[in-house]
Structure 1
Amino acid sequence: MRSLKEHKNIFLLKLFSVNSIGVLLRSLLGLVSQKLIAIYLGPNGLALVGNLRNALALFGLGSTVGIDQGVLKYQSQFKNDDVELKKLYATSLAYSIVGSIIVCFILFFWASYWSQFLFKTEQYDYLFVILALTMPFTAVYNLCLAIINGKSNYKKATIVTFSTYTIVTIVIIFTVSFYKISGVLLAITFTPIAQLLTLLFFARNSLLLFTNLKIRFYAFYKNALFAFIIMSCAAVFFSNIVDLQLRNYLINHLSVEEAGYWTSMSGLSNYYLSFMTGVYSLYILPKYAKMNSLKVFLIELKRIYKLILPLFGFMFIILYCFREHLIRLLFSEEFLPMGDLFKWQLLGDIVKIIAVVIAYQFIAQKLWKLFIVTEVISYILLYVLGVYFVEKMGVEGIVFAHFLRYLIYLIIVLLLVSKIFKKHKSIDESTD
């Protein structure tokens, strides 16, 4: 018979493999659209597209108020209790409705402001009016996806997300060749509609869960989900705001082209780091939630690192050695200067993986104050170090700042997590 350790390793490997298939398919589609944008619009266009995608992530977060991780946690905990699940869904939907109304209001009445802020012109204000009307679809989509993942139906989750990416990519292919930058921006704005279509075709049963629900805030879930809302909002808000500010800083102090190189490097980084997304949410989070011993935590940490670090280490070496060929394949000759960004970006990303695997302990234990403090410190470090090193090193300074930021973040997280387990130990000893 297999040992418990072997079963855990097999489950983790299986989850990583299933998640990897979905991420690989989505990444291929994303890279196809990125290649087309690079050919037709160059670094300038990619910088503007990056701004819109950051904004879309922010508004998407606002519409769902970041409850996805909480839904995943309690869906798993009460998977055999229909009464509790209905309360969870009702409260989640209530939060999403409130979030969607606020986001729709902000987008509709300040459409010109967002256009000016993101694109330095008001001519794209219609994009934000469209988003105001369609953003509730994103709220429902994210909620349904969290429920599907919470039921461990990873195959359906992969089909839904892949189908959404396929629709958006097809729209980008048709619009970029005819309408250039306006077409691409409109295609990306089409994302919430694509999300609704995929739910109707592939996940109608998930949508039916919301019928006959008494939409209200149930006290337990209202409070329990609030901690996840705070943590998710902090992470996504600071991430996208700092990205926007740094990109605009590069545009104003260097050039739109340099901003485009960094946007392209960040986009590539997001694609390969997406392979960790399912592992964080579906394996690490539930595991950590049950831990109160440093010894058990370290054993689990070792198991996770033994699987993922060799894989990512090997992948990063290949990416670095063949970076020029990769740039020509994924972008164009015009993007070759971004080859200088690979070294510090890849080093920063490997440190990020090491740190985030540890930091998920904050989310698992709902230590939202510690999580927010560390996130704020992390993004302040990125912005301050980014601005400083851009002055010294040009655009390469921003990826060097990325590496330093995660090195400091790792040290902070190690100290805090060790303190948490020492506190658990002292409490256990006092109750013996």
Structure 2
Amino acid sequence: MQRFFKVISYTAFLTFIKMLCGIFISKAIAIYAGPSGMALFGQMQGFTTMLTNLGNSPNNSGVIKYTAEFEHKGIDVYSQWWKAAIYWSFFVYITLFMLVVFFSEEISIFLTGKNDYRWLVISAGMLIPLSALGVLCSSIYNSFRDYKNFFLSGMISTLITSVVIIYIILSYGLIGAMVAAVIQPALIGGGVFIFSLKEKWCRLKYFIGPITKGAKNDILKYVAMISVSAIVGPLSIIILRTFLIEQVGWEIAGEWQSVWKISEVYLGVITLTLSTYYLPVLAKTRDYQQLVLELRRTVKVIFPLIVLMAIFIYILRDYIIYILFSKDFYNARELFLIQLLGDVIKIASYIYAYPMLAKGKIKFFIFTEILFCITLITLSFFLINIFGVHGANIAYASNYLLYLIVVIMSFKRLYAQSCN
């Protein structure tokens, strides 16, 4: 557990840096664009997140799993999965870019109600490779448990990126905020890649060359899993936000987006810890009892931590709104309680769901991702009509509660045989 707490401390520090940068970015958007600008920023950021997650799908969980699993066999063996990741990244990028260019006008209208932002939609597609390279390098650091360089690369790239983004927002207002949403992942990814060039493993021969069919198929499995998650997750939030805008207007939707943004920032401490420590450890487990032991250890540390963080944020929500945004967002204080409850349930469900990634449970993973994104949208449509903006938060918490119940009930059936 010493390594676990080391990861938590590194993660907390990196998240603190990201949080500070996020405060300045959110403050700039709040002052120069207001609640409606925050909602527009959320729409474009959601689309960019979906694109970059799709572009990154070959480069994260699969690379972490197979590098960690075969580390003892040497770089000539485990670099096969790096080459496979590059191979699939190329095909994913070409496909995404063609689709984005062809449907750019329709996407712009769907996101913003106007076709004025076609150029931003196309730019988001063009910048996918930079983000993908950064994620691949981060995954390699992670799989080697090189936490120092993993977090240092993330911190430096985040700081530099935040300075650039704040300058753009201050200089160009709402348009600057929209541009910031599009270029942020690419700037961070490019920074991580440049940082990684000093490493001995960062050589062209380990990423380009002959690839075994087995390695291609292994990474393709993760491409399928993460692509589904990358599409249906952000898309469901975009649909939810669009419906919210139609029902309550841009201003209130912007207040909801501000609370959602706060959740994203503080939950980053937990999700980064899970992907950095928990996922590689799960990938190496061969015994069901060992898997259960790791899960219980993680629950004992993570669950009390997320509860304390949620309580702390709820108590200080007025100060947080004032510091992060402006007085125009004051009504957002009423949206915190159920949102934070949903956050706690969400992390609990993630702890039980992460073994699906570590063990490659592709069918169950894809089924649950699609099912619970559909239920989120359905619950949101129903509850927003009844409770207004609060219905979105009730739907969020209820949906993750259902998801948690399903992954707990399915746990033993999924892993008891495959781990033995």
Taking structure 2 as the reference length, what is the TM-score of the superposition?
0.93
What displacement does 1:134 show? 2.6
| Counterparts of 1:311 and 1:231, CA distance in 2 | 29
What displacement does 1:219 show? 0.9
Deviations 1:318-363 (A, max 9, x none): 2112211211111111111111111111111111111110111222
1:167 to 160, 171, 176: 160
What displacement does 1:290 show? 4.6
1:332 to 303, 326, 337: 326
Partner amino acid, structure 2, of 1:343: L
- Superposition map of 1:280-291 within 5 A: 280-291=274-285
1:19 to 8, 11, 24: 11
Q: What 5-or-longer segments of structure 2 have no aligned partner?
A: none
1:90 to 71, 83, 90: 83
Q: 1:351 aligned to 2:352? A: no
Q: 1:313 aligned to 2:307? A: yes
| Counterparts of 2:393 and 2:260, CA distance in 1 | 9
Q: 1:31 aligned to 2:58? A: no
On the 8 A contact 1:15/1:278 being kept in 2, the answer is no
| Counterparts of 1:12 and 1:175, CA distance in 2 | 38
Report what 1:407 is aligned to.
401
Deviations 1:400-426 (A, max 9, x none): 11111111111111111132355569x
| Counterparts of 1:171 and 1:90, CA distance in 2 | 32
What displacement does 1:20 show? 1.7
Q: 1:371 aligned to 2:365? A: yes
CA RMSD of aligned residues (A): 2.2
Partner amino acid, structure 2, of 1:72: I
What displacement does 1:66 show? 4.1
Partner amino acid, structure 2, of 1:142: V
| Counterparts of 2:194 and 2:356, CA distance in 1 | 37
| Counterparts of 2:33 and 2:3, CA distance in 1 | 43
- Superposition map of 1:11-410 within 5 A: 11-80=3-72, 81-191=74-184, 193-195=186-188, 197-199=190-192, 201-205=194-198, 208-211=202-205, 213-291=207-285, 295-410=289-404
| Counterparts of 2:52 and 2:326, CA distance in 1 | 31
More moved, 149-158 vs 263-272: 149-158
SS of 1:190's equivalent in the other structure is helix
What displacement does 1:386 show? 1.1
On the 8 A contact 1:89/1:210 being kept in 2, the answer is no
Report what 1:4 is aligned to.
none
What displacement does 1:173 show? 2.1
| Counterparts of 2:253 and 2:189, CA distance in 1 | 33
| Counterparts of 2:206 and 2:288, CA distance in 1 | 45
Partner amino acid, structure 1, of 2:22: G
Taking structure 1 as the reference length, what is the TM-score of the superposition?
0.90
- For this pair of structures, how many residues does the alignment match? 418
| Counterparts of 1:187 and 1:374, CA distance in 2 | 32
Partner amino acid, structure 1, of 2:41: V
SS of 1:205's equivalent in the other structure is coil
| Counterparts of 2:135 and 2:332, CA distance in 1 | 33
On the 8 A contact 1:168/1:188 being kept in 2, the answer is no
More moved, 212-221 vs 175-184: 212-221
| Counterparts of 1:92 and 1:166, CA distance in 2 | 28
What displacement does 1:211 show? 4.4
| Counterparts of 1:96 and 1:251, CA distance in 2 | 35
Q: What 5-or-longer segments of structure 1 have no aligned partner?
A: 1-8
What displacement does 1:168 show? 3.0
